[in-house]
Structure 1
């Protein structure tokens, strides 16, 4: 999964470099590079591994640091491949023609970005292969290869399923059930109903980031023939859907605690509720103003980060108790 941002700033309401006239200044160009590299987005790679490992620790009271750190590095490299290759494939369709934060546009060298992406993929898969070799069990490798396959059909030719509005579904499974289960299996070499259940929460919050990335680029998506969910629903109805999606994260956590599938510590996730409120308000207020709503993604990243971190902490506490 990859999403484009036009600015990188601690303040989600700050103006983007697009809003200045003329050629970008050195400071604006630095912001464009930071936006293109998307540092905040790598929490999307980190938390499935951290959460699957935390659940394993809660259930087994054991943590295999070598597998965890290797998996974490591989996940970051594989997401880098996903982001870089997405820039390359979007450059081929022309959908990024007006996107200043495309690495292809910034470097003017599509081939370079393509091969750097492939190098990241190769290194990432090598790390997963190492884990499988240590365990003499290639289940984790199979799961991650499936994730990579879903990542490719999301944006790669001839599939480009993201252009049909299926990106959020692919994202849900890749960064939710598949990745979390793979991380859990790398620690235990078995499966867990708890791991699968919590992966649904993480999958929703991750897909919400991708969903929120479409609001500011409806015109470009339409011009390129991309039928994202926001294009299909319209910005207003899409914004009205966000409180339900974000609220569903907390409702599901509460339900699973009530069913005694989760430890009561999981209710710590409620501390992140204000980020869901901020996201919903921002989307509802600015859904039809591209230059203001383009930072909606940052609010979604905040919700994903804090809710995921609190889930990890909760399972960590459960493992220590």
Structure 2
């Protein structure tokens, strides 16, 4: 049986400030921002108006809900021992698993409270229902007894939570309606968000195997998984081009093509070093950069 991280803390020579910066993962919070910004941008294109109070409230709620998910993942991973070599786990840094879980749950309540306020003001339960479903998927990813991420379902859960559900919730919060355009945008956002999670598995294959986690990279092997990356990136651009052709997106959305060098860097870097886990520790941040640039270009093009 794999021993718990809390029982066997690992001492890292890396300065604690750098570990805390890695634990906080500030760049990763674009994952919360992009779906809200994109859904709101599609709504602006359709209606010509933005309710800034709703947007700001939803954005703040999304960020604290992501804090909840990240902290909970550290807690649940500590229970399985999969993070035994992860010095920047918040649980490893503090040694206070119960406190971290309590803080995480407070963040969840704050986030749900913000979204509930939007639904209450609009007298419509759709938005809070969609966000509650996103939270359920987030819990099922790592939380017991589900732990679906350990069965290789993490990327699929991520796609729906941050794509169709997240973007659609942001769109609905502005319009109280639905659109095919928002769904097309949601597919793009969902894929690039899942790509971040997919890339994060390359540097932890040994730990995943030891803990019984069957991530897609473990199942496919690092070589085949790296060969899949260009196809996933191609789908992002293909969906965008088709959506432009069908006039779901304006022609200006073609500016997402400026992200092609980042996609190329991501695919070639992982392809060249797929067996060198120590070199792939930060490859997820290349995926985060791709996520941010594609999401920003998509949102800006829809507004302007």
Q: 1:146-165 counterparts in 2 under 5 A?
A: 146-165=133-152
Q: Aligned match of 1:195 in 182, 196, 211? A: 182
1:24 aligns with 2:24: no
Residue 23 of structure 1: how far off its partner (Å): 4.8
Q: 1:115-126 counterparts in 2 under 5 A?
A: 115-126=102-113
Residue 24 of structure 1: how far off its partner (Å): 2.3
- For 2:45 and 2:246, locate their aligned partners in 1 and report how far apart those are by CA, in whole Å: 17
Structure-2 residue corresponding to 1:8? none
Q: Deviations over 1:192-235 (max 9, x none)?
A: 11000111011000000000000010010000000000000000
**Change beyond 3 A, Cα 1:149–1:289:** same
Structure-2 residue corresponding to 1:106? 93
Structure-1 residue corresponding to 2:233? 246
1:36 is paired with a residue whose SS is helix
Residue 263 of structure 1: how far off its partner (Å): 1.0
Q: Deviations over 1:116-161 (max 9, x none)?
A: 0000000000000100011011100000000000000100000000
Q: Aligned match of 2:263 in 265, 273, 276? A: 276
Contact 2:12-2:87 at 8 Å conserved across structures: no
User: How many residue pairs end up in the alignment?
Assistant: 295
- For 2:87 and 2:178, locate their aligned partners in 1 and report how far apart those are by CA, in whole Å: 43
Q: Choose 250-259 or 195-204, whichever is displaced more.
A: 250-259
Q: Deviations over 1:9-68 (max 9, x none)?
A: xxxxxxxxx9xxx8525xx22111011111011000001000000000011001000000
Q: Aligned match of 1:81 in 31, 56, 68? A: 68
1:294 is paired with a residue whose SS is coil
TM-score by length of 1: 0.90
- For 2:43 and 2:179, locate their aligned partners in 1 and report how far apart those are by CA, in whole Å: 8
- For 2:56 and 2:66, locate their aligned partners in 1 and report how far apart those are by CA, in whole Å: 16
1:143 aligns with 2:127: no
Structure-2 residue corresponding to 1:91? 78
- For 2:177 and 2:153, locate their aligned partners in 1 and report how far apart those are by CA, in whole Å: 30
Contact 1:247-1:276 at 8 Å conserved across structures: no
Q: Deviations over 1:64-112 (max 9, x none)?
A: 0000000000000000000001111110111111110110000010011
1:130 is paired with a residue whose SS is helix
Residue 249 of structure 1: how far off its partner (Å): 0.9
TM-score by length of 2: 0.95
Contact 2:184-2:239 at 8 Å conserved across structures: no
- For 1:290 and 1:303, locate their aligned partners in 2 and report how far apart those are by CA, in whole Å: 21
What are structure 1's unaligned runs of at least 5 residues? 1-17
Q: Aligned match of 1:260 in 228, 247, 269? A: 247
**Change beyond 3 A, Cα 1:282–1:131:** same
Residue 261 of structure 1: how far off its partner (Å): 2.0
1:34 aligns with 2:10: no
Q: Structure 1 segments of 4 or more deviating over 3 A?
A: none
- For 1:49 and 1:258, locate their aligned partners in 2 and report how far apart those are by CA, in whole Å: 24
- For 2:265 and 2:212, locate their aligned partners in 1 and report how far apart those are by CA, in whole Å: 31
1:314 aligns with 2:304: no
Contact 2:259-2:290 at 8 Å conserved across structures: yes
Contact 2:138-2:157 at 8 Å conserved across structures: yes
Q: 1:215-254 counterparts in 2 under 5 A?
A: 215-254=202-241
What are structure 2's unaligned runs of at least 5 residues? 1-9
Structure-1 residue corresponding to 2:3? none
1:276 is paired with a residue whose SS is helix
